[in-house]
Amino acid sequence: MALGLRASPPVVLLLLSLLGLAAAGKLLVVPVDGSHWLSMREVVDMLQQRGHEVVVVAPEVTMQIKPSKNFVMKRYSGPISQEEMEKDFKVFLHTTFEEGPFLQRFLKLYQHMKTLGNLAVSSCEHLLQNKELMGYLEESKFDAVLTDPVIPCGVILAEHLSLPSVYFLRGIPCGFDFEATQCPNPPSYVPRGFSQLTDHMTFFQRVKNLLFDTQNLFFCNFAFDPFSKLASEFLQREVTVQDLLRKGSLWLLRLDFVLDYPRPLMPNIIPIGGVNCAYKELPQVGCTQF
């Protein structure tokens, strides 16, 4: 078990470049739309530059996932139009940042998150039921699946294709990343999300931190149970999202030593916080001497 955070973007390329060892590998990428894709796209582009063949699977309607010369794009129809997606996302953002009584804001946010969650499940179902695309994926002989498990559609697909999976993520709600990796997660040391606590807590702060875990009992039911049901139907055996996540070969965790507190890590968890930043040269600015 390792402690602390080591922001080392080259580690991502080093580990993923080993997919094909002496030869280039073939990678199936199942991304999550929005800001999740922006960080993953940097890695996908560099893998292609190193000779790997990359196939990205995404719905026809997306906000950020667009075709590129650096990878093969495979699209599938989804349950929503571009206009509906943009409208729902704007309403969600407005609800997230609006002011008002906590309970009122929480109920509104819960309802919008439930709506977006149902769309994610429906989109995944469209992918798994697309016989033409699934036939292509089954015959393509990929070496591994790269996916963001915050929406576990790629996790289900990796299990169906019997492929090793590489997770590229910031975190998973409900502490599923801790549970799936059997990683220590003591409330006396690891601050819970939205608790505004640090890794140094008084006794009463530890009690408060423990109470924040109770929200998982409420949140996880509607967030991941539909995916567990979908996976069980598709794989034709009873499974849960936790069962599938435990099979992850490598967890590339986008933690950052500036934003995140140290936490216990297992050997197959690699912190890669620096990959969130694109490397760009600053413009030359002339100086005036006085």
Q: Which domains does the chain have, with CATH numbers?
A: 2-276 (3.40.50.2000)
User: How far, in Å, CA of 54 to CA of 253, rounded?
Assistant: 21
Residue type, 73: M
- CA nearest 54: which of 166, 171, 172? 166
* Residue 271 tokens, joined: 């912190």
Q: How many CA atoms lie within 13 A of 131 on its CB side?
A: 0
Helix and strand numbers (H, E) in the chain are 10, 9
Q: Long-range contacts: 204-208, Cβ < 8 Å, 24+?
A: none
pLDDT value of residue 15: 58
- State the pTM of this model: 0.81
Residue 39 has a pLDDT of 87
pLDDT at 94: 74
3-state secondary structure of 73: strand
CA distance 123 to 185: 32
Per-residue pLDDT of the chain (290 residues; tens, 9 = 90+): 444 444 455 555 565 555 544 467 899 999 999 888 988 998 999 899 989 999 999 999 998 999 999 999 999 998 887 788 777 777 777 776 777 776 677 677 777 777 778 889 999 999 999 999 999 999 999 999 999 999 999 999 999 999 999 999 988 877 888 889 998 888 888 888 767 888 889 999 999 888 887 766 666 767 788 999 999 999 999 999 999 999 999 999 988 767 777 788 899 999 887 666 655 565 665 544 43
